Amino acid sequence: MTEHHSDDCLFCKIIAGDIPSIKLYEDDRTYVFMDIMPQTRGHHLIIPKYHAQDFFDLPIDWANACLATAQKMAIAAKAGLESDGVRIMQLNGAAAGQTVFHYHVHVMPVMKGESMALHARDMEKPDVLQPIADKIIAAL
Ligand code: AMP
Ligand code: ZN
């Protein structure tokens, strides 16, 4: 169960396994899964197992845990997908483009010259995402 759990939060439900996700990694404090509307190949999300709406609400030890996991994932994604770079993004508030109100860090591997798809727009199929996830997992 997520600490500070919220019953009507999509990402709390993903952590609880009530909504399916393509999981890449999990530890005591964080959970990592593929973004269903990827902006680049290998786009995934790090979430704390603590329900906080955004960076303003998240206790700093949980934010630190997310950043540590983001570094671990960025290294694995870069190696596993042979990407040229990795973009890290984190949005706070609807005005900033946030659409899911459980704090999360976006990790987006990028190839040289690759353009980014629109934010939270086009859904990708699980059978396309799973083999990409497997490559990242293999590099962890
Ligand atoms: P943000 O706009 O920063 O709040 O990002 C929310 C992200 O969650 C977007 O990139 C969405 O594509 C992604 N997303 C929304 N629903 C799901 C879901 N059920 N599984 C995986 N990713 C999701
Ligand atoms: Zn939540």
Cβ of residue 21 lying under 6 Å from some atom of ligand 1: yes
What protein residues have CB closer than 5 angstroms to ion ligand 2?
6, 9, 11-12, 51, 102
Q: Mean pLDDT across the stretch 59-81?
A: 98
Beta carbons of 94 and 76 less than 8 angstroms apart: no
**How is the beta sheet containing 105-110 ordered, strand by strand?**
23-26, 30-34, 44-48, 105-110, 85-89
Give residue 105 CA to ligand 2 midpoint distance, Å.
14
Atom 10 of ligand 1, residue of closest alpha carbon:
120
Confidence category of residue 70, pLDDT binned at 50, 70, 90: very high
Q: Which of 14, 35, 128 has most ligand 1 atoms within 8 Å of its beta carbon, as the pocket-test mutant?
A: 35
Cβ of residue 97 lying under 6 Å from some atom of ligand 1: yes
Q: Model's pTM, two decimal places?
A: 0.97
Number of H helices, E strands in the chain: 3, 5
CATH number for the region 10-138 comes to: 3.30.428.10
Cβ of residue 24 lying under 6 Å from some atom of ligand 1: no
The pLDDT score that the predictor gives to residue 134 is 98
Exposed, middle or buried: residue 55 (CB in 10 Å: 0-12, 13-18, 19+)? middle
Which residue ranges make up each domain of the chain?
10-138
Q: What is the dihedral of CA 91, 96, 99, 101, to 10 degrees?
A: 60
- Poorest-confidence range of 62-71, 117-126, 129-138? 117-126
Q: Mean pLDDT across the stretch 55-64?
A: 97
7-21 pLDDT, tens digit each: 899 999 999 999 999
Q: Mean pLDDT across the stretch 80-100?
A: 97
28-50 pLDDT, tens digit each: 999 999 999 999 999 999 999 99
Q: Over 60: is that where the pLDDT of 1 sits?
A: no
Q: Mean pLDDT across the stretch 110-128?
A: 93
Q: How many Å apart are CA 40 and CA 68, to the nearest integer?
A: 22
Confidence category of residue 2, pLDDT binned at 50, 70, 90: low
Q: 81 is written with which tokens?
A: 């997908």
